[in-house]
């Protein structure tokens, strides 16, 4: 289905979407992905806005499911392919987690495979790479450190 917004360039749609979120003052729903390759290495992306490493992810688009968001975000931000979503490791809603807006974030653990083709939008994401677990950055952007730690522990899903 094509509506009037489909005629806008993708970047303009994204800007309008961000403005609408702030005007409506409602939490947004998003996902982050703890992507693991066949050796158990963790997929991370380097954000352009903070310069820090983070879990790949983003917000749901209109008429999109959580599953399709997981696949799309990993492809767009890292150029990797999700081969299997293993489980939901947590749902996070603390208002101070993301300085841009209040987000409800579903964290999933997934199997991913390369090659890493890199980000679609280099203005948003600088690079993507797999990290061995013993070489993970000490701190992840957007409150991702605790999400990653909990996901790697393998316990029951956490609700924040």
Mean pLDDT of the chain: 89
What share of the chain in percent tops pLDDT 90? 63
**Three-state SS across 131-158?**
ECHHHCCCCCHHHHHHHHHHHHHCCCCE
> So where are the chain's domains?
27-159
Mean pLDDT of 29-58: 96
**Mind telling me the catalytic residues?**
127
Residue 1's pLDDT is what? 43
Class of domain 27-159: alpha beta
Per-residue pLDDT tens for 51-70? 999 999 999 998 999 999 99
């Amino acid at each position: 289905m094509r509506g009037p917004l489909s005629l806008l360039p993708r970047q303009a749609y994204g800007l309008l979407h961000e403005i609408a979120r702030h005007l409506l003052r409602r939490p947004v729903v998003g996902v982050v992905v703890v992507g693991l390759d066949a050796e158990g290495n963790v997929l991370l992306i380097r954000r352009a806005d903070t310069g820090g490493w983070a879990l790949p992810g983003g917000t749901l688009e209109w008429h999109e499911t959580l599953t399709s968001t997981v696949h799309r975000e990993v492809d767009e931000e890292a150029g990797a392919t999700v081969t299997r979503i293993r489980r939901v490791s947590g749902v996070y809603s603390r208002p101070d987690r993301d300085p841009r807006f209040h987000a409800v974030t579903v964290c999933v653990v997934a199997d991913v495979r390369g090659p890493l083709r890199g980000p679609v939008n280099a203005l948003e994401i600088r690079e993507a790479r797999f990290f061995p677990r013993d070489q993970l950055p000490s701190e992840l952007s957007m409150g991702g450190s605790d999400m990653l730690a909990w996901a790697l522990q393998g316990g029951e899903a956490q609700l924040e």
